[in-house]
Amino acid sequence: MNRKRTGILVGMIGLAFAAQAQMNPKYKFEEALKLIQGNYVDQVNEEHLVDAAIKAMIADLDPHSHYTSREEAEAMRQAMSGSFAGIGIQFLKNADKTYVTMVNPDGPAMRAGVRVGDQIVSIDGESIVGEQFGNKEIMLKLRGDKDVPVALQIVSPGSTAQKDISIVRENILEKSVRESYMVDQEIGYIALSIFNRTTRPEIDAALKKLQEQGMTKLILDLQSNGGGYVESAIGVVDEFLPKDKMVFYSVPNGGGRDYYATGGYGRFYDGALVVLIDESTASSSEIVTGALQDWDRAVVIGRRSFGKGLMQRPVPLSDGSEMQLTGARYYTPSGRSIQKPYSNGKDDYFEDFNRRMQSKELLEEGHVQFPDSLKYTTLNTKRIVYGGGGIMPDRFVPIDTNQYSNWMAQLMNKGIVSKGGFEFVQQNREALLQAYPDFEQFNNRFDVPVELHRQLVDYARSMSIAIPAEEQMAAHAAIDVEFKAQVGSLLYTGGDYMARIRNEANQSFNEALRVLRDDKLYSALLQAGTVGEKLTQKTK
């Protein structure tokens, strides 16, 4: 077909689509796609264009609706299922070598004889020594189909001999309960990292184990928990509130209300409860926190949560891709919508953390202003709580600026602490275990040697990382906490010892202990109202 006839045909198609587009906007999309195909200078990938168009349409709706390709959708489903097929290890790429840094207890790698400190030389006969493979590529090689073996060649510490090990991949649980342990004889601690399909049975098992150890009070840590399945959030609240207590209600696009309540199968209805939140606590975590606060069941400690009160529902497309569309808004039992405004666009919406830092909201109490229209009361003691942009804590704790500093981010992202800790353990494992036979002794007695700290700091500065001057003792103490956490996690198995060490330096955790150890203070906080009551209110 010659160029003139092609142009006439495209024009006729355009006229036909134009007539239809006047009646139905959907034809305008089809018209644009046909005209691009007929007129653009290069050949176009139709699937790529459609994907881009769908993404652009959804991006115009709200900050949380989004489109995922079929590959991304499958990866998300796998992550939320709580398991994947692998061998049960964590590893560290140190220069051109890959070392095992954690082995899941009773996982396939542990049973095959893999231990912390082993170097992985090859996977399925392909050498991974050198710079050709990064962390992602190595992870993908280790993961695969269930019941399919993967062949590793490893070298153990203190040996030069290479050992061939075949490990059959199994479903490896991605734990929702990041850590649970007894802090003292009566206070337990549970940290949730995500709300997935295994969250309810995991937290139920953790509560049972802690109660068998004498727990009568609990810290529930939701710091940096970005949410997940709403059904799992209901299950968590069910552990702490008796039957038929509203967890939240939602208002879908068709109007009306859908109510969600507890089922009465919980383990911990009466003991003192503290919930830890921060500026990254979002979505399902806010459902849990809002319900427990509204029913006066828990003291909330930390900083105002993220403020996500929109519920996304998966809408699958025929090719396996998926749209996550906001189908409803959720409200806490007292009627609060905690969704923060997003009328200024997505970029502005996700700049909220920087605004909170600049306004000093994250540094000092009293910088948030709410109008009276956002004032609500809890359901039992009638404390004042606020909607309109996150859950306000009952007890404010400022952010640790060292942990959120640029220099700390560089220190961690460049692997200086993790690699330094790994090399220290590799060189001193036997001596360390002899001096500190168990984690408790290590945690109570180990201090980072002054010379080792100096070497770490000097090396970081040689990498152009602006470590604060030695006079800023809190900054250097934060470095030692991270280094000690790395060493502890590499020396001992059976728990998230890194989290335990970090907790002892976490101000919110220590404030939770103070509140739980003072029964009068705990009771007073459930009566006196939230931090929000102390704010300077702003009327509109």
Residues with a known catalytic role: 283, 294, 308
Give me 519's structure tokens.
Answer: 């029964």
Indicate the residue type of 420: G
Instruction: Give the C-alpha separation, 519 to 54, whole Å.
Output: 55
**What's the CA gap between 264 and 235, in Å, rounded?**
10
Q: Are 165 and 159 spatial neighbours (Cβ–Cβ below 8 Å)?
A: no
CA angle, residues 523, 527, 532, in degrees to nearest 5: 120
Cα 97 to the center of its chain, rounded Å: 28
DSSP string covering 386-412, please? Answer: E-SSSPPPSEE----TTTTSHHHHHHH
Residues near 273 by beta carbon (within 8 Å), at least 6 away in sequence: 217, 218, 220, 240, 292, 297, 298, 299
Whether 117 contacts 156, CB under 8 Å: yes
Helix (H) or strand (E) holding 57: helix 46-59
Here the contacts of 41-48 (C-beta below 8 Å, separation 24 or greater) are none
> Using CB atoms within 10 A of its CB, is residue 283 exposed (0-12), middle (13-18) or buried (19+)?
buried
